[in-house]
């Protein structure tokens, strides 16, 4: 067992701005103390792929063009069909803790999002006991760990599907109470795991900051169009209450690992809902680059559309109702005909030069219909494709918010310029990064406060539609980390580090090689360790 230890506590999708602000003003005293004695820096997210690809990029240490994960439903190359990522390996590259495990380091991997259970690692792993997005369901290795968790802690208080439609103070108050309770339980679970043995590496991810950010941002931000002063007056700010519970957990766990390098991080952030991803198909129709299915073809696409609608409705039900109806749902799924849905309901790929493809709800993804790559491709590789990208980018960047006149799109990102690797074939070719300037409401909250988005194009006029999804918070690309421990000097780093830098940094701290990644070790976290090692004041293997 190495005397070097690394413990990571991840506050999933917590807002870096709020973490800094509330650490300064005393709302988060434990985080403040950690910042006072540790190294603090911003985390630079991934161009275009900072929603679905954040966790796979962090734990593989490579860009999406190599690991191949950008959304839970992804393109089957050479077809117009989608597949569930959960039906296979989530990534094409193994997580960095395999390098640690192969080198004999003992690891404990707890609730890292979008990972698959691997009984072969040198240690233990828990997947999806309490995460925001579930692919596989709760499980643990060894199996005895799963049995122990259920016996001692029970099922997660909120569950993996924390999205739901909530309309009154009582609903939001109960949701917040459950999140706080689940943080307290997860903190105890983490402390118990730490006490089992002196792990070389342990990571625990708290998903509650992710859940509350998506569901309750309108109860934090007074300028949000769906802000509800009466609900906030009755229950307070749910985001602040959850962050305070997380701060308490950080303080308790930090006290138990004073001999270790402790990293507290938020890999990507959260802000208000923004943009017009829900209007992207209509925008592409108006531009004439995507073509609707004809009536007869729409009949063949009906099952996929109904499946998507049913999935949305299911996640909108209260947890107790989902539990009661689960047997019926499973029976219907078993008896349903096998479906191979087209990329998106209502689009004819045989007549479209491009089509939207899901890339998270805060960014828009576009796939080009390229001859030789797609079955019925219309664009010839080379000059034809480049002309299409140029014209489409110009059109997208010319979109404005019809009410304010401000640009609606910040950037159009080419996947082949920000990502490199064999998995480019499954990624969207273009990603739209919408302006985050204007918060967008939701009709699902009742009243539709600020839910209408009116998009103006200089040639086509106004296209409008309403956001009908219940979320009021959405991701932003950058994060924050604080690291404290032996040899790490206190202070602000003065520069941002890449999300891809953490895998090689952790491996370097534990004396293991990690040469295949796209990031670089954070030298400021390693310099002090090297000095301690040279002075003989740090143990090794």
**Three-state SS letters, 453-465:** EEEEECCCEEEEE
Residue listed under structure tokens 């701290």: 509
Task: Indicate the helix (H) or strand (E) that contains 299.
Answer: helix 295-300
Q: Name residues whose C-beta falls within 8 Å of residue 115's C-beta, 6 or more positions apart in sequence.
A: 55, 59, 90, 95, 109, 125, 127
pLDDT (tens digit per residue) in 43-90 = 999 999 999 999 999 999 999 999 999 999 999 999 999 999 989 899
Q: How far apart are CA 321 and CA 313, in angstroms?
A: 12
Place of tokens 């952790």: 506
201 Cβ contact partners less than 8 Å away, ≥ 6 residues apart:
5, 6, 7, 8, 97, 100, 105, 106, 107, 108, 506, 510
Q: What pLDDT does residue 167 have?
A: 80
Residue entry with tokens 């004439």: 288
DSSP 316-334: HS-HHHHHHHHHHHHHHHH
pLDDT of residue 158: 83
In the block, residue with structure tokens 């939701």:
442
What was the pLDDT predicted at 1? 40
Structure letter (DSSP) for residue 337: P
pLDDT value for 337: 45
Cβ 376 vs Cβ 369: under 8 Å = yes
Q: What is the pTM of this model?
A: 0.89
Report how far residue 7's alpha carbon sits from residue 366's, in angstroms, rounded to the nearest whole number: 39
Residues in the chain predicted with pLDDT less than 50, given as ranges, are 1-2, 299-303, 333-340, 532, 539-541
Bridge partners for 473 per DSSP = 272
Give me the pLDDT at residue 323, please.
52
Q: For the stretch 214-246, what's the b/e string if a residue is b when 16 or more beta carbons lie within 10 angstroms of its beta carbon?
A: bbbbbbbbeebbbbbeebbeebebbbbbbbbbb
* Coarse DSSP helix, strand, coil percentages of the chain, rounded to the nearest 5 percent: 40, 20, 40
Q: How many helices (H) and strands (E) does the chain have?
A: 18, 21
User: Which residues are bridge partners to 356 per DSSP?
Assistant: 366
Number of residues in the chain: 541
Neighbouring-strand partners of residue 357: 365
Question: How far apart are alpha carbons 245 and 425 in whole angstroms?
Answer: 42
Longest dimension (CA), the chain: 77
Write down all domains in the chain, each with its CATH number in brackets: 6-61+96-272+474-534 (3.40.720.10), 302-340 (no CATH)
Identify the CA nearest to 392 among candidates 291, 461, 281, 289: 289
- Classify 45 as helix, strand or coil: coil
DSSP-assigned beta bridge partners for residue 295: none
Q: What is the dihedral of CA 382, 386, 388, 393, to 10 degrees?
A: 160
DSSP conformational letter for 488: P
Element spanning 392, H or E: helix 383-397
pLDDT for position 165:
81
> For residues 23 and 17, what is the distance between their CA atoms, to the nearest angstrom?
10
CA distances in angstroms from 99 to 111, 296, 451, listed in the order given: 19, 53, 47
């Amino acid at each position: 067992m190495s005397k070097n230890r690394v413990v990571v506590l991840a506050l999933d999708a917590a807002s870096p701005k709020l973490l800094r602000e509330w650490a300064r003003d005393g709302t988060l005293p434990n985080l403040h103390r950690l910042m006072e004695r540790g190294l603090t820096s911003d985390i630079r997210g991934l161009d275009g792929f900072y929603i679905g690809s954040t966790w796979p990029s962090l734990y593989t240490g490579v860009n999406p063009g190599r690991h191949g994960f950008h959304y839970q439903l992804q393109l089957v190359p050479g077809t117009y069909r989608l597949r569930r990522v959960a039906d296979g390996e989530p990534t094409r590259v193994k997580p960095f803790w395999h390098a640690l495990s192969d080198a004999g380091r003992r690891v404990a991997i707890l609730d890292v999002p979008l990972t698959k259970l691997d009984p072969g690692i040198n240690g233990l792993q828990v997947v999806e006991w309490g995460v925001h997005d579930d692919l596989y369901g709760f499980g643990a290795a060894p199996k005895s760990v799963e049995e122990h968790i259920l016996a001692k802690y029970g099922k997660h208080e909120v569950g993996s599907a924390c999205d739901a439609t909530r309309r009154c103070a009582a609903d939001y108050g109960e949701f917040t109470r459950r999140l706080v309770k689940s943080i307290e339980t997860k903190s105890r679970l983490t402390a118990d795991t730490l006490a089992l043995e002196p792990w070389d590496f342990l990571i625990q991810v708290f998903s509650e900051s992710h859940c509350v950010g998506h569901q309750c941002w309108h109860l934090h931000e007074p300028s949000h169009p769906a802000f509800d002063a009466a609900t906030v007056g009755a229950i307070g700010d749910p985001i602040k209450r959850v962050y305070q519970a997380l701060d308490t957990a950080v303080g308790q766990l930090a006290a138990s690992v004073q001999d270790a390098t402790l990293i507290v991080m938020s890999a990507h952030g959260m802000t208000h809902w923004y943009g017009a991803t829900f209007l992207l198909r209509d925008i592409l129709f108006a531009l004439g680059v995507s073509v609707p299915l004809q009536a007869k073809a729409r009949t063949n696409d009906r099952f996929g559309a109904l499946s998507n609608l049913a999935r949305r409705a299911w996640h909108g039900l209260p947890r107790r109702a989902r539990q009661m109806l689960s047997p019926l749902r499973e029976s219907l799924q078993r008896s349903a005909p096998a479906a191979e849905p087209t990329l998106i309901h209502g689009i004819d790929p045989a007549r479209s030069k491009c089509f939207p493809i899901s890339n998270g709800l805060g960014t828009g993804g576009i796939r080009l219909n390229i001859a030789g790559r797609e079955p019925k491709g219309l664009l010839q590789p080379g000059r034809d494709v480049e002309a299409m990208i140029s014209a489409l980018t110009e059109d997208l960047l010319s979109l404005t918010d019809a009410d304010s006149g401000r640009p609606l799109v910040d950037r159009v990102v080419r996947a082949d310029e920000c990502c490199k690797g064999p998995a480019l074939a499954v990624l969207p070719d273009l990603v739209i990064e919408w302006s985050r300037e204007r918060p967008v409401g939701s009709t699902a909250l009742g009243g539709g406060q600020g839910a209408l988005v009116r998009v103006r194009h200089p040639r086509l006029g106004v296209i409008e539609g309403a956001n009908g999804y219940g979320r009021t918070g959405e991701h932003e690309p950058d994060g924050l980390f604080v690291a404290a421990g032996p040899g790490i000097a206190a202070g602000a780093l003065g520069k941002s580090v890449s999300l891809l830098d953490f895998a090689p940094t952790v491996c370097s701290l534990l004396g293991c090689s990690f040469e295949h990644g796209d990031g670089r070790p954070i030298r400021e976290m390693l310099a002090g360790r090297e000095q301690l090692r040279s002075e003989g004041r740090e143990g090794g293997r």
